[in-house]
Each structure stands twice: as C-alpha cells, then as structure tokens.
Amino acid sequence: MKDNSLDVMEMPLFEVFIRSANGLEHRHVGSLHAADAEMAITNARDVYVRRNEGVSIWVVPSESITASDPADKEMLFEPMKDKIYRHPTFYNLPEGVQNI
C-alpha cells in the first residue's frame, strides 16, 4: 500500500443530527464519512441509532457549516453579560403582587 493511498480516497465528512422523539429538536450527535448524503443517512442509522435513540436524522456536509470563531467570543457574547435587565429576576416586585 502506498503511503498516501488513503488520502486520495477519503470520503466527505457529514455532521449528524438526531431527533430523539417528536416534540424535541434535532441534536448534534457526531460526524461520519460517507460518499453522499444518502449513504450518510444509512451510516448514521447504523452508527448513532442502534437502540431507538431517534425518529429522524439530519445529515449536513461538515464543510457547509459556518461556525463562529472562538476568538470572537468576547465580541459576540460579552455584551450580553451586562444586560441583566433582560432577565425577569432584575426586577423587584412589591410584596403581595402575584401572577406577574
């Protein structure tokens, strides 16, 4: 076997999302390699749903996902931290007030 023989062949990577039951959202469970989306669904069934873990599968080519850069964490998420007035717990209610 040539040393680079494997690289030539590597099948694309897909991210797998499973809905565990109706009424719940699809949730990321991991990834797998497959030649195309159809094969990815079949493989996902065998790899991630061997025990009734789901009722629906999404597969998405990993390269189609755009992720936020961890380095932008501060810029993206820090500004929300000091907006405590967005939470109901920010407000003190006079004693006796109910159903609010």
Partner 1 sequence: MYTQSLDTDPLANDPKEVSDKRELELKKRISEGYVVEPRDDMPERYRKTLIRQMSQHAHSEVVGMLPEGNWILRAPTLKRKSILLAKVQDEAGHGLYLYSATETLGVSRDALYEDLLQGRAKYSSIFNYPTLNWADVGVIGWLVDGAAIMNQIPLTQCSYGPYARAMVRICKEESFHQRQGFDLLNEMMQGTQKQKDMVQDAVDRWWWPALMMFGPEDSDSIHSEESKAWGIKKKTNDELRQTFIDVTVPQAETLGVTLPDPQLKWNETREHYDFGKIDWNEFWRVVSGSGPCNKDRIGVKKKAWEEGAWVREAAMAHAMKSKGR
The CA distance from 33 to 53, in Å, is 20
Extract long-range pairs of 27-36: CB within 8 Å, 24+ residues apart. Answer: 31/62, 34/59, 35/11
The CA distance from 63 to 14, in Å, is 8
Q: Nearest to residue 40, comparing CAs of 8, 64, 7, 6?
A: 64
Is residue 51 a contact residue for partner 1 (CB under 8 A)? yes
| Piece of 17-25, 64-72, 77-85, 91-99 that binds partner 1 (CB under 8 A) | 64-72
Tell me whether residue 9 or residue 97 sits nearer to partner 1 (CB atom). 9
Is residue 30 a contact residue for partner 1 (CB under 8 A)? yes
Is residue 33 a contact residue for partner 1 (CB under 8 A)? yes
Is residue 35 a contact residue for partner 1 (CB under 8 A)? yes
The number of residues that bind partner 1 (CB under 8 A) is 25
Query: How is residue 90 written in tokens?
Result: 């920010």
Point out which residues bind partner 1 (CB under 8 A). 1, 3, 6-7, 9-11, 13, 29-33, 35-36, 39, 46-48, 50-51, 67, 69-71
